[in-house]
Amino acid sequence: MHPVIGITCSLTATPIDGTTFFLERNIIARDYARAIEHAGGAPILLPHSEDLACIQQYLRVVDGLLLSGGGDIDPLRFGQEPHQNIGSVDPVRDEMELQLTQKALAADLPIFALCRGIQVLSIAAGGTIYQDIASELPQPTLRHSQKGAGWYASHTIDLLPDSRLHQITGSITTRVNSFHHQAVRDAGEGFIVTARAKDGVIEAIENPTHRFAVGVQWHPEMMWERHPEAVNLFAAFVKACR
């Protein structure tokens, strides 16, 4: 049996022609499911819900949780007022994902968190994030929102020796893609920083006491067909879910 991996979704709203109504859809890039399938997992999508009982049922069904990328997180969730460069926020998604993550951490359910997901993971454990790294970091930053193809590894990161991430990739340095303007500021309780970009921006965190609780700031689901390190990340996650 393949382990069942629950993948969180984004929300889009499009106007219905000739009306004042909007059609809301939960959406997710197909890359996430394809990467999980390739690693031997069975992906299912987790639609947005405000029903706590439904959220708890999600966790009873899945063997692992993948927190996907997407829009910005409401800064009021981590005790800050909105920065002038904050993007669109989705309070329903924020609440659901924070509930899912906190309960998954408490149950030691494997979690793999990508891009926005690493920020959710940190906030769920009491951490904070930069709302806009280009204006909030004291030094100039690298380009963290690349213009190249999604699979292209646009900058280098340094990995913490002997971390889980180092063990999975087999290297203390690698290259990653980059599509973000926010990043973890303070890792949540129990988490350690396991990778940074050359400008100091946090690129990965993990909780060494959990079966698998790893967050990365990049998008390995876009890279796995061309980069073995991305394949290894998904393989390690799915293995932990068995």
CA distance 190 to 198: 24
What range defines the domain where residue 188 resides?
Answer: 4-241
Pairing of strands 4-8, 10-15: unpaired
Phi, psi of 228 (to 5 degrees): -60, -30
Number of domains in the chain: 1
Q: What is the pLDDT of residues 114-131, one digit of tens each?
A: 999 999 999 999 999 999
- Which of 199, 188, 197, 182 is CA-nearest to residue 136? 182
What pTM was estimated for this model as a whole? 0.95
Phi, psi of 222 (to 5 degrees): -85, -15
Catalytically annotated residues = 115, 219, 221
Tokens coding 109 = 């359910």
CATH number assigned to the domain comprising residue 175: 3.40.50.880
pLDDT of residue 22: 81
Please state which of the ranges 26-35, 102-111, 136-145 shows the lowest mean pLDDT. 136-145
Q: What is the pLDDT of residues 13-43, one digit of tens each?
A: 777 777 777 888 888 999 999 999 999 999 9
Q: Is 121 helix (H, G, I), strand (E, B) or coil?
A: helix
